[in-house]
Structure 1
Amino acid sequence: MSSTKQHIIFDMDDTLIHCNKYFDLILADFFERMTNWFQSSNITTDDVRSKQMEIDIAGVNKLGFASANFPQSLIDTYRYFSQLHGRPPVLEEEEQLFQLGLSVYDQEVEAYPGMVETLNVLQHEGHHLHLYTGGETKIQKRKIEQMKLADYFEDRIYIRQHKNIDALEKILRTGDFQRSSTWMVGNSLRTDVIPALTARINTIYIKQKTEWHYNLVELKEEPDNILYTVPALTEVPQIIANHGILTPQRHS
Protein backbone atom coordinates (compact mmCIF):
# COMPACT_ATOMS: atom_id res chain seq x y z
CA MET A 1 0.00 0.00 0.00
CA SER A 2 1.32 3.41 -0.97
CA SER A 3 1.96 5.71 1.98
CA THR A 4 1.83 8.80 -0.24
CA LYS A 5 -1.66 10.19 -0.67
CA GLN A 6 -2.39 10.83 -4.33
CA HIS A 7 -4.80 13.13 -6.14
CA ILE A 8 -6.78 10.87 -8.50
CA ILE A 9 -8.93 12.53 -11.17
CA PHE A 10 -11.56 10.23 -12.67
CA ASP A 11 -13.42 10.67 -15.91
CA MET A 12 -17.05 9.55 -15.54
CA ASP A 13 -18.67 8.43 -18.80
CA ASP A 14 -17.35 5.02 -19.91
CA THR A 15 -14.81 5.07 -17.10
CA LEU A 16 -17.04 4.83 -14.03
CA ILE A 17 -20.45 4.47 -15.69
CA HIS A 18 -21.72 3.23 -19.05
CA CYS A 19 -22.42 5.79 -21.75
CA ASN A 20 -21.47 4.77 -25.30
CA LYS A 21 -23.67 1.67 -25.33
CA TYR A 22 -26.76 3.86 -25.00
CA PHE A 23 -25.72 5.96 -27.98
CA ASP A 24 -25.16 2.74 -29.93
CA LEU A 25 -28.73 1.60 -29.15
CA ILE A 26 -30.17 4.90 -30.38
CA LEU A 27 -27.99 4.79 -33.49
CA ALA A 28 -29.20 1.27 -34.32
CA ASP A 29 -32.78 2.61 -34.26
CA PHE A 30 -31.70 5.59 -36.39
CA PHE A 31 -29.97 3.39 -38.99
CA GLU A 32 -33.07 1.21 -39.29
CA ARG A 33 -35.32 4.22 -39.84
CA MET A 34 -32.99 5.70 -42.42
CA THR A 35 -32.64 2.52 -44.48
CA ASN A 36 -36.45 2.15 -44.44
CA TRP A 37 -37.14 5.77 -45.40
CA PHE A 38 -34.54 5.69 -48.17
CA GLN A 39 -35.19 2.12 -49.25
CA SER A 40 -35.71 3.10 -52.87
CA SER A 41 -32.27 4.80 -52.90
CA ASN A 42 -30.50 1.65 -51.63
CA ILE A 43 -28.47 3.46 -48.98
CA THR A 44 -26.75 1.14 -46.51
CA THR A 45 -26.27 1.24 -42.76
CA ASP A 46 -22.56 1.84 -43.36
CA ASP A 47 -23.37 4.84 -45.56
CA VAL A 48 -25.50 6.37 -42.82
CA ARG A 49 -23.07 5.48 -40.03
CA SER A 50 -20.13 7.08 -41.85
CA LYS A 51 -21.95 10.36 -42.54
CA GLN A 52 -23.47 10.61 -39.04
CA MET A 53 -20.06 10.01 -37.46
CA GLU A 54 -18.52 12.73 -39.62
CA ILE A 55 -21.25 15.24 -38.69
CA ASP A 56 -21.26 14.27 -35.01
CA ILE A 57 -17.50 14.66 -34.59
CA ALA A 58 -17.52 18.02 -36.40
CA GLY A 59 -20.21 19.21 -33.99
CA VAL A 60 -18.29 18.09 -30.91
CA ASN A 61 -15.13 19.78 -32.17
CA LYS A 62 -17.06 23.02 -32.56
CA LEU A 63 -19.52 23.00 -29.65
CA GLY A 64 -18.06 20.54 -27.16
CA PHE A 65 -20.33 18.07 -25.37
CA ALA A 66 -23.56 19.99 -25.91
CA SER A 67 -26.67 17.83 -25.51
CA ALA A 68 -28.26 19.10 -28.73
CA ASN A 69 -25.29 18.03 -30.84
CA PHE A 70 -26.19 14.33 -31.03
CA PRO A 71 -29.87 14.72 -32.03
CA GLN A 72 -28.88 17.48 -34.47
CA SER A 73 -26.37 15.11 -36.07
CA LEU A 74 -29.23 12.69 -36.79
CA ILE A 75 -31.28 15.44 -38.43
CA ASP A 76 -28.32 16.77 -40.43
CA THR A 77 -27.53 13.25 -41.67
CA TYR A 78 -31.17 12.83 -42.68
CA ARG A 79 -31.09 16.16 -44.54
CA TYR A 80 -27.84 15.20 -46.29
CA PHE A 81 -29.34 12.02 -47.75
CA SER A 82 -32.60 13.81 -48.51
CA GLN A 83 -30.75 16.31 -50.69
CA LEU A 84 -28.45 13.66 -52.17
CA HIS A 85 -31.33 11.47 -53.32
CA GLY A 86 -33.96 14.11 -54.05
CA ARG A 87 -36.30 13.04 -51.26
CA PRO A 88 -37.85 16.17 -49.66
CA PRO A 89 -37.38 16.27 -45.86
CA VAL A 90 -40.50 15.62 -43.81
CA LEU A 91 -40.90 17.79 -40.71
CA GLU A 92 -42.56 14.98 -38.75
CA GLU A 93 -39.62 12.67 -39.47
CA GLU A 94 -37.14 15.33 -38.36
CA GLU A 95 -39.07 15.81 -35.12
CA GLN A 96 -38.99 12.05 -34.55
CA LEU A 97 -35.22 12.03 -34.99
CA PHE A 98 -34.69 14.92 -32.60
CA GLN A 99 -36.71 13.20 -29.89
CA LEU A 100 -34.92 9.93 -30.61
CA GLY A 101 -31.56 11.64 -30.16
CA LEU A 102 -32.57 13.37 -26.94
CA SER A 103 -33.82 10.09 -25.48
CA VAL A 104 -30.23 8.91 -25.04
CA TYR A 105 -29.97 11.22 -22.02
CA ASP A 106 -32.96 9.56 -20.33
CA GLN A 107 -31.37 6.12 -20.17
CA GLU A 108 -30.80 4.45 -16.82
CA VAL A 109 -27.35 5.03 -15.36
CA GLU A 110 -25.32 1.84 -14.94
CA ALA A 111 -21.96 1.55 -13.20
CA TYR A 112 -19.02 -0.26 -14.74
CA PRO A 113 -18.03 -3.45 -12.91
CA GLY A 114 -15.93 -2.66 -9.86
CA MET A 115 -16.79 1.04 -9.69
CA VAL A 116 -17.95 1.01 -6.07
CA GLU A 117 -15.19 -1.34 -4.93
CA THR A 118 -12.50 0.72 -6.67
CA LEU A 119 -13.66 4.02 -5.22
CA ASN A 120 -14.13 2.48 -1.77
CA VAL A 121 -10.56 1.16 -1.70
CA LEU A 122 -9.03 4.43 -2.83
CA GLN A 123 -11.14 6.47 -0.42
CA HIS A 124 -10.28 4.15 2.45
CA GLU A 125 -6.58 4.55 1.67
CA GLY A 126 -6.95 8.30 2.08
CA HIS A 127 -6.42 9.43 -1.50
CA HIS A 128 -8.04 12.64 -2.74
CA LEU A 129 -10.64 11.69 -5.35
CA HIS A 130 -11.76 14.14 -8.04
CA LEU A 131 -14.38 13.78 -10.80
CA TYR A 132 -13.83 15.52 -14.15
CA THR A 133 -16.55 14.97 -16.74
CA GLY A 134 -17.56 16.45 -20.07
CA GLY A 135 -21.13 17.47 -20.84
CA GLU A 136 -23.92 19.77 -19.77
CA THR A 137 -24.27 20.41 -16.06
CA LYS A 138 -27.91 19.30 -15.70
CA ILE A 139 -27.36 15.98 -17.46
CA GLN A 140 -24.10 15.15 -15.72
CA LYS A 141 -25.43 16.13 -12.29
CA ARG A 142 -28.34 13.72 -12.76
CA LYS A 143 -25.90 10.87 -13.35
CA ILE A 144 -23.76 11.91 -10.39
CA GLU A 145 -26.79 12.00 -8.11
CA GLN A 146 -28.15 8.65 -9.30
CA MET A 147 -24.77 6.96 -8.74
CA LYS A 148 -24.24 8.81 -5.42
CA LEU A 149 -20.79 9.82 -6.61
CA ALA A 150 -20.69 12.85 -4.31
CA ASP A 151 -20.13 10.34 -1.49
CA TYR A 152 -16.63 9.90 -2.92
CA PHE A 153 -15.90 13.20 -4.67
CA GLU A 154 -17.77 15.69 -2.44
CA ASP A 155 -17.16 19.18 -3.90
CA ARG A 156 -14.25 18.01 -6.04
CA ILE A 157 -16.43 17.67 -9.14
CA TYR A 158 -15.64 19.51 -12.39
CA ILE A 159 -18.15 19.54 -15.26
CA ARG A 160 -16.93 21.08 -18.50
CA GLN A 161 -18.58 21.33 -21.91
CA HIS A 162 -15.17 21.30 -23.58
CA LYS A 163 -12.82 18.63 -22.21
CA ASN A 164 -9.29 19.38 -23.40
CA ILE A 165 -5.84 20.45 -22.23
CA ASP A 166 -6.98 24.01 -21.45
CA ALA A 167 -9.83 22.80 -19.26
CA LEU A 168 -7.58 20.34 -17.43
CA GLU A 169 -4.85 22.93 -16.90
CA LYS A 170 -7.34 25.35 -15.31
CA ILE A 171 -8.39 22.65 -12.87
CA LEU A 172 -4.80 21.78 -12.00
CA ARG A 173 -3.78 25.41 -11.54
CA THR A 174 -6.67 26.34 -9.29
CA GLY A 175 -6.44 23.26 -7.07
CA ASP A 176 -3.92 21.94 -4.58
CA PHE A 177 -2.28 19.54 -7.02
CA GLN A 178 1.30 18.29 -7.01
CA ARG A 179 1.66 16.96 -10.52
CA SER A 180 4.04 14.15 -9.55
CA SER A 181 1.35 12.73 -7.25
CA THR A 182 -1.67 13.45 -9.46
CA TRP A 183 -3.36 10.91 -11.75
CA MET A 184 -5.88 11.08 -14.58
CA VAL A 185 -7.98 7.94 -15.04
CA GLY A 186 -10.10 7.73 -18.18
CA ASN A 187 -11.12 5.86 -21.30
CA SER A 188 -10.55 8.55 -23.92
CA LEU A 189 -7.18 9.02 -25.58
CA ARG A 190 -8.37 12.38 -26.92
CA THR A 191 -9.95 13.99 -23.86
CA ASP A 192 -8.30 12.14 -20.94
CA VAL A 193 -4.93 10.66 -21.85
CA ILE A 194 -3.36 13.22 -24.18
CA PRO A 195 -4.35 16.26 -22.06
CA ALA A 196 -3.03 14.51 -18.94
CA LEU A 197 0.27 13.63 -20.57
CA THR A 198 0.57 17.17 -21.91
CA ALA A 199 -0.05 18.49 -18.39
CA ARG A 200 2.65 16.10 -17.15
CA ILE A 201 0.53 14.20 -14.67
CA ASN A 202 0.39 10.43 -14.25
CA THR A 203 -2.17 8.68 -16.42
CA ILE A 204 -4.14 5.43 -16.42
CA TYR A 205 -5.87 4.64 -19.70
CA ILE A 206 -8.87 2.30 -19.32
CA LYS A 207 -8.99 0.70 -22.75
CA GLN A 208 -12.57 -0.32 -23.53
CA LYS A 209 -13.50 -3.12 -25.96
CA THR A 210 -15.55 -0.73 -28.07
CA GLU A 211 -14.98 3.01 -28.19
CA TRP A 212 -16.58 6.09 -29.72
CA HIS A 213 -14.64 7.00 -32.84
CA TYR A 214 -14.08 10.55 -31.56
CA ASN A 215 -11.97 9.21 -28.70
CA LEU A 216 -9.63 7.20 -30.91
CA VAL A 217 -6.49 9.17 -31.71
CA GLU A 218 -2.86 8.12 -31.81
CA LEU A 219 -0.16 9.19 -29.40
CA LYS A 220 2.40 10.88 -31.60
CA GLU A 221 5.35 10.02 -29.41
CA GLU A 222 6.33 7.95 -26.38
CA PRO A 223 5.34 9.90 -23.27
CA ASP A 224 8.01 10.98 -20.81
CA ASN A 225 5.72 10.66 -17.81
CA ILE A 226 3.87 7.66 -16.44
CA LEU A 227 1.19 5.99 -18.56
CA TYR A 228 -0.46 2.67 -17.75
CA THR A 229 -2.85 0.96 -20.14
CA VAL A 230 -5.26 -1.46 -18.45
CA PRO A 231 -8.48 -3.27 -19.48
CA ALA A 232 -10.46 -2.74 -16.29
CA LEU A 233 -11.21 -0.12 -13.66
CA THR A 234 -10.48 -2.62 -10.90
CA GLU A 235 -6.75 -2.50 -11.70
CA VAL A 236 -6.46 1.15 -10.68
CA PRO A 237 -6.02 0.74 -6.89
CA GLN A 238 -3.09 -1.64 -7.26
CA ILE A 239 -1.36 0.69 -9.70
CA ILE A 240 -1.75 3.58 -7.28
CA ALA A 241 -0.54 1.42 -4.38
CA ASN A 242 2.52 0.31 -6.32
CA HIS A 243 3.39 3.74 -7.66
CA GLY A 244 7.13 4.20 -7.54
CA ILE A 245 7.71 0.46 -7.10
CA LEU A 246 6.63 -1.08 -10.41
CA THR A 247 7.78 -0.10 -13.87
CA PRO A 248 4.78 1.45 -15.70
CA GLN A 249 3.35 -0.12 -18.82
CA ARG A 250 3.57 2.27 -21.73
CA HIS A 251 0.89 2.62 -24.36
CA SER A 252 1.82 1.06 -27.67
Structure 2
Amino acid sequence: MNQQTLILDLDDTLIHCSKYFIKSKNQFAEQMQDWFDFLSKDEILQKQLEIDVKNVDKHGLHSSLYPESLVLTYKYFCVKYGRALKKSEIELVRRVGQEVFELEVQPFPYVYDVLDSLQEDGHQLYLFTGGDKKNQRRKINQLGLDHYFVDRVFIHEHKNSTTLKKLLNRIECEKKSTWMVGNSLKTDVKPAIELGINAIHIPSEFEWSYNIIDLEIEPSGTFAELESLLQLPVYLRDYAFIHEAI
Protein backbone atom coordinates (compact mmCIF):
# COMPACT_ATOMS: atom_id res chain seq x y z
CA MET A 1 0.00 0.00 0.00
CA ASN A 2 1.33 3.42 -1.01
CA GLN A 3 1.10 5.32 2.30
CA GLN A 4 0.01 8.94 2.10
CA THR A 5 0.03 11.97 4.39
CA LEU A 6 -3.57 13.06 4.89
CA ILE A 7 -4.42 16.50 6.27
CA LEU A 8 -8.10 16.46 7.19
CA ASP A 9 -10.45 19.35 7.85
CA LEU A 10 -12.82 19.05 10.82
CA ASP A 11 -16.04 21.08 10.45
CA ASP A 12 -18.41 19.80 7.75
CA THR A 13 -15.77 17.26 6.69
CA LEU A 14 -15.68 14.96 9.73
CA ILE A 15 -18.41 16.49 11.87
CA HIS A 16 -21.59 18.50 11.45
CA CYS A 17 -21.18 22.25 11.73
CA SER A 18 -23.08 24.44 9.23
CA LYS A 19 -26.46 22.97 10.08
CA TYR A 20 -26.18 24.34 13.62
CA PHE A 21 -25.46 27.82 12.32
CA ILE A 22 -28.35 27.64 9.87
CA LYS A 23 -30.73 26.81 12.71
CA SER A 24 -29.25 29.62 14.83
CA LYS A 25 -29.53 32.18 12.04
CA ASN A 26 -33.14 31.22 11.38
CA GLN A 27 -33.91 31.64 15.08
CA PHE A 28 -32.23 35.05 15.02
CA ALA A 29 -34.13 36.15 11.90
CA GLU A 30 -37.47 35.10 13.40
CA GLN A 31 -36.68 37.06 16.56
CA MET A 32 -35.72 40.09 14.49
CA GLN A 33 -39.02 39.90 12.63
CA ASP A 34 -40.82 40.21 15.96
CA TRP A 35 -39.11 43.60 16.35
CA PHE A 36 -39.05 44.58 12.65
CA ASP A 37 -42.17 43.01 11.16
CA PHE A 38 -41.65 44.85 7.85
CA LEU A 39 -38.30 43.15 7.19
CA SER A 40 -38.08 39.92 5.22
CA LYS A 41 -36.10 37.00 6.53
CA ASP A 42 -33.83 37.22 3.49
CA GLU A 43 -33.01 40.89 4.20
CA ILE A 44 -32.00 40.06 7.74
CA LEU A 45 -29.93 37.02 6.82
CA GLN A 46 -28.20 38.81 3.94
CA LYS A 47 -27.07 41.67 6.19
CA GLN A 48 -25.86 39.21 8.86
CA LEU A 49 -23.89 37.29 6.21
CA GLU A 50 -22.32 40.49 4.90
CA ILE A 51 -21.21 41.51 8.40
CA ASP A 52 -20.07 38.01 9.34
CA VAL A 53 -17.93 37.44 6.23
CA LYS A 54 -16.33 40.88 6.54
CA ASN A 55 -15.36 40.19 10.15
CA VAL A 56 -14.02 36.70 9.39
CA ASP A 57 -11.92 38.02 6.51
CA LYS A 58 -10.44 40.63 8.84
CA HIS A 59 -10.21 38.83 12.18
CA GLY A 60 -10.29 35.08 11.43
CA LEU A 61 -12.52 32.28 12.66
CA HIS A 62 -12.74 32.99 16.39
CA SER A 63 -16.05 31.81 17.87
CA SER A 64 -16.78 35.22 19.40
CA LEU A 65 -17.28 36.74 15.95
CA TYR A 66 -20.51 34.93 15.13
CA PRO A 67 -22.56 36.16 18.13
CA GLU A 68 -21.12 39.61 17.53
CA SER A 69 -22.30 39.51 13.89
CA LEU A 70 -25.85 38.97 15.14
CA VAL A 71 -25.54 41.90 17.55
CA LEU A 72 -24.12 44.15 14.81
CA THR A 73 -26.97 43.15 12.50
CA TYR A 74 -29.49 44.03 15.19
CA LYS A 75 -27.78 47.38 15.77
CA TYR A 76 -27.65 48.10 12.03
CA PHE A 77 -31.40 47.78 11.61
CA CYS A 78 -32.11 49.69 14.83
CA VAL A 79 -30.05 52.63 13.59
CA LYS A 80 -31.43 52.42 10.07
CA TYR A 81 -35.07 52.49 11.19
CA GLY A 82 -34.73 54.61 14.31
CA ARG A 83 -35.50 51.90 16.83
CA ALA A 84 -34.00 52.34 20.29
CA LEU A 85 -31.25 49.91 21.21
CA LYS A 86 -32.17 47.80 24.21
CA LYS A 87 -29.63 46.05 26.40
CA SER A 88 -32.03 43.15 27.02
CA GLU A 89 -32.48 42.61 23.29
CA ILE A 90 -28.74 42.78 22.65
CA GLU A 91 -28.16 40.12 25.30
CA LEU A 92 -30.92 37.95 23.85
CA VAL A 93 -29.39 38.18 20.38
CA ARG A 94 -25.90 37.46 21.68
CA ARG A 95 -27.21 34.44 23.58
CA VAL A 96 -28.75 33.01 20.41
CA GLY A 97 -25.31 33.15 18.81
CA GLN A 98 -23.41 31.76 21.79
CA GLU A 99 -25.63 28.71 22.07
CA VAL A 100 -24.14 27.32 18.86
CA PHE A 101 -20.84 26.83 20.69
CA GLU A 102 -22.44 25.00 23.60
CA LEU A 103 -24.17 22.29 21.58
CA GLU A 104 -23.05 18.69 21.70
CA VAL A 105 -21.71 18.26 18.19
CA GLN A 106 -22.31 15.18 16.07
CA PRO A 107 -19.84 13.36 13.84
CA PHE A 108 -20.92 12.17 10.43
CA PRO A 109 -22.21 8.62 11.10
CA TYR A 110 -19.41 6.87 9.19
CA VAL A 111 -16.45 8.98 10.41
CA TYR A 112 -14.95 6.47 12.83
CA ASP A 113 -15.13 3.65 10.26
CA VAL A 114 -13.40 5.86 7.68
CA LEU A 115 -10.66 6.94 10.09
CA ASP A 116 -10.13 3.33 11.16
CA SER A 117 -9.75 2.31 7.51
CA LEU A 118 -7.29 5.10 6.78
CA GLN A 119 -5.20 4.12 9.81
CA GLU A 120 -5.28 0.44 8.88
CA ASP A 121 -4.06 1.36 5.40
CA GLY A 122 -1.04 3.02 7.00
CA HIS A 123 -1.78 6.64 6.18
CA GLN A 124 -0.47 9.36 8.48
CA LEU A 125 -3.39 11.48 9.68
CA TYR A 126 -3.27 15.18 10.56
CA LEU A 127 -6.11 17.50 11.54
CA PHE A 128 -6.06 21.07 10.23
CA THR A 129 -9.03 23.07 11.47
CA GLY A 130 -10.10 26.69 11.54
CA GLY A 131 -11.33 28.36 14.73
CA ASP A 132 -10.19 29.21 18.22
CA LYS A 133 -8.43 26.52 20.20
CA LYS A 134 -10.93 26.37 23.06
CA ASN A 135 -13.94 25.68 20.84
CA GLN A 136 -12.22 23.33 18.40
CA ARG A 137 -10.59 21.35 21.22
CA ARG A 138 -13.99 21.05 22.87
CA LYS A 139 -15.35 19.31 19.78
CA ILE A 140 -12.28 17.14 19.21
CA ASN A 141 -12.24 15.93 22.82
CA GLN A 142 -16.00 15.43 22.96
CA LEU A 143 -15.92 13.12 19.95
CA GLY A 144 -12.75 11.25 20.91
CA LEU A 145 -10.88 12.26 17.76
CA ASP A 146 -7.60 12.54 19.71
CA HIS A 147 -7.36 8.77 19.29
CA TYR A 148 -6.69 9.23 15.57
CA PHE A 149 -4.64 12.42 15.55
CA VAL A 150 -2.87 12.48 18.96
CA ASP A 151 -0.47 15.46 18.77
CA ARG A 152 -1.04 15.97 15.04
CA VAL A 153 -3.77 18.59 15.51
CA PHE A 154 -3.32 22.10 14.10
CA ILE A 155 -5.85 24.81 14.98
CA HIS A 156 -5.70 28.27 13.44
CA GLU A 157 -8.08 31.21 13.53
CA HIS A 158 -6.80 32.15 10.07
CA LYS A 159 -6.97 29.03 7.91
CA ASN A 160 -5.17 29.80 4.65
CA SER A 161 -2.04 29.16 2.60
CA THR A 162 0.21 30.74 5.23
CA THR A 163 -0.95 28.49 8.07
CA LEU A 164 -1.04 25.40 5.85
CA LYS A 165 2.53 26.12 4.77
CA LYS A 166 3.60 26.27 8.43
CA LEU A 167 2.05 22.84 8.96
CA LEU A 168 3.76 21.40 5.87
CA ASN A 169 7.13 22.78 6.96
CA ARG A 170 6.69 21.28 10.41
CA ILE A 171 5.82 17.78 9.27
CA GLU A 172 8.38 17.76 6.40
CA CYS A 173 6.24 15.73 4.02
CA GLU A 174 6.63 15.04 0.31
CA LYS A 175 4.22 17.06 -1.80
CA LYS A 176 3.40 14.21 -4.17
CA SER A 177 2.16 12.00 -1.32
CA THR A 178 0.40 14.71 0.72
CA TRP A 179 -3.31 15.50 0.53
CA MET A 180 -5.56 18.21 1.93
CA VAL A 181 -9.08 16.84 2.37
CA GLY A 182 -12.00 19.12 3.14
CA ASN A 183 -15.30 20.71 2.19
CA SER A 184 -14.12 24.31 1.77
CA LEU A 185 -12.84 25.47 -1.59
CA LYS A 186 -11.53 28.64 0.10
CA THR A 187 -9.75 27.31 3.20
CA ASP A 188 -8.97 23.70 2.22
CA VAL A 189 -8.65 23.25 -1.54
CA LYS A 190 -7.27 26.62 -2.69
CA PRO A 191 -4.39 26.70 -0.15
CA ALA A 192 -3.46 23.11 -1.05
CA ILE A 193 -3.36 23.90 -4.76
CA GLU A 194 -1.36 27.08 -4.16
CA LEU A 195 1.23 25.08 -2.22
CA GLY A 196 1.46 22.30 -4.78
CA ILE A 197 0.05 19.40 -2.75
CA ASN A 198 -2.85 17.13 -3.69
CA ALA A 199 -6.39 18.15 -2.79
CA ILE A 200 -9.69 16.33 -2.34
CA HIS A 201 -12.88 18.37 -2.19
CA ILE A 202 -15.87 16.79 -0.44
CA PRO A 203 -18.78 19.25 -0.71
CA SER A 204 -20.94 19.71 2.35
CA GLU A 205 -24.71 19.30 2.26
CA PHE A 206 -25.01 22.68 3.98
CA GLU A 207 -22.29 25.04 2.79
CA TRP A 208 -21.43 28.46 4.19
CA SER A 209 -21.16 30.89 1.27
CA TYR A 210 -17.79 32.06 2.68
CA ASN A 211 -16.36 28.70 1.58
CA ILE A 212 -17.56 28.93 -2.01
CA ILE A 213 -15.13 30.49 -4.48
CA ASP A 214 -13.99 30.06 -8.07
CA LEU A 215 -10.69 28.22 -8.33
CA GLU A 216 -8.57 30.28 -10.68
CA ILE A 217 -5.36 28.31 -10.29
CA GLU A 218 -4.38 25.14 -12.11
CA PRO A 219 -3.46 22.24 -9.78
CA SER A 220 0.10 20.94 -10.10
CA GLY A 221 -0.83 17.87 -8.05
CA THR A 222 -3.89 15.63 -8.12
CA PHE A 223 -7.27 17.26 -7.55
CA ALA A 224 -10.39 15.17 -7.00
CA GLU A 225 -13.94 15.72 -5.86
CA LEU A 226 -15.73 12.98 -3.92
CA GLU A 227 -19.40 12.82 -3.02
CA SER A 228 -18.72 11.54 0.48
CA LEU A 229 -15.90 10.96 2.94
CA LEU A 230 -16.91 7.30 2.75
CA GLN A 231 -15.28 7.16 -0.68
CA LEU A 232 -11.90 8.37 0.56
CA PRO A 233 -10.26 5.05 1.62
CA VAL A 234 -11.22 3.35 -1.65
CA TYR A 235 -10.15 6.35 -3.72
CA LEU A 236 -6.70 6.30 -2.12
CA ARG A 237 -6.36 2.55 -2.61
CA ASP A 238 -7.23 2.93 -6.30
CA TYR A 239 -4.84 5.85 -6.58
CA ALA A 240 -2.03 3.81 -5.04
CA PHE A 241 -2.76 0.83 -7.31
CA ILE A 242 -2.63 2.96 -10.45
CA HIS A 243 0.54 4.80 -9.48
CA GLU A 244 2.37 1.69 -8.30
CA ALA A 245 1.59 0.10 -11.64
CA ILE A 246 3.08 3.00 -13.61
TM-score by length of 2: 0.96
Runs of 5+ consecutive residues of structure 1 not aligned to the other structure: 248-252
CA drift at 1:245: 4.8
Quote how far apart the aligned CAs of 1:68 are.
1.0
Cross-structure match for 2:32: 34
Aligned-partner Cα distance in 1 for 2:119–2:219: 28
Structure 1 residue 244, shift from structure 2 partner: 5.0
State which drifts further: 8-17 or 113-122: 113-122
Task: Verify: 1:93 aligned to 2:89, yes or no.
Answer: yes
1:218 alignment counterpart: 214
Q: 2:64, 2:227 → 1: CA distance?
A: 31
Cα displacement string for residues 195-237 of structure 1 (whole angstroms, at most 9, x for unaligned residues): 0111111111001232001001111144232111111110111
1:205 counterpart = 2:205: no
Does the residue aligned with 2:34 lie in a helix, a strand or coil? Answer: helix
List, as ranges, runs of 4+ consecutive aligned residues in structure 1 with deviation greater than 4 Å: 244-247
Q: For residue 21 of structure 1, what is the aligned residue in structure 2? A: 19
Structure 2: any 5+ residue segments left out of the alignment?
none
1:171 aligns with 2:167: yes
Contact 2:7 2:127 (8 Å CA) reproduced? yes
Amino acid of the structure 2 residue aligned with 1:202? N
Aligned to 1:9: 7
Give the match for residue 185 of structure 1: 181
AA at the equivalent of 2:160: N
Instruction: Give the structure 1 partner of residue 121 of structure 2.
Output: 125
Query: Match of 1:227?
Result: 223
Rounded Cα–Cα distance in structure 2 between residues aligned with 1:159 and 1:221? 26
In structure 2, what is the equivalent of residue 136 of structure 1?
132
Mapping 1:68-79, distance limit 5 Å: 68-79=64-75
Q: Which residue of the partner structure matches residue 55 of structure 1?
A: 51
Cα deviation code 1:60-108 (max 9, x no counterpart): 0011011110000001001111111111111110011111111100111
| Residues matched between the structures, number | 243
- Give the structure-1-normalised TM-score: 0.94
**Aligned-pair distance for 1:240?**
1.2
Tell me the amino acid that sits aligned with residue 198 of structure 2: N
Cα displacement (A) at 1:176: 2.6
**Residue 141 of structure 1: CA displacement?**
0.7
Q: CA RMSD in A?
A: 1.2
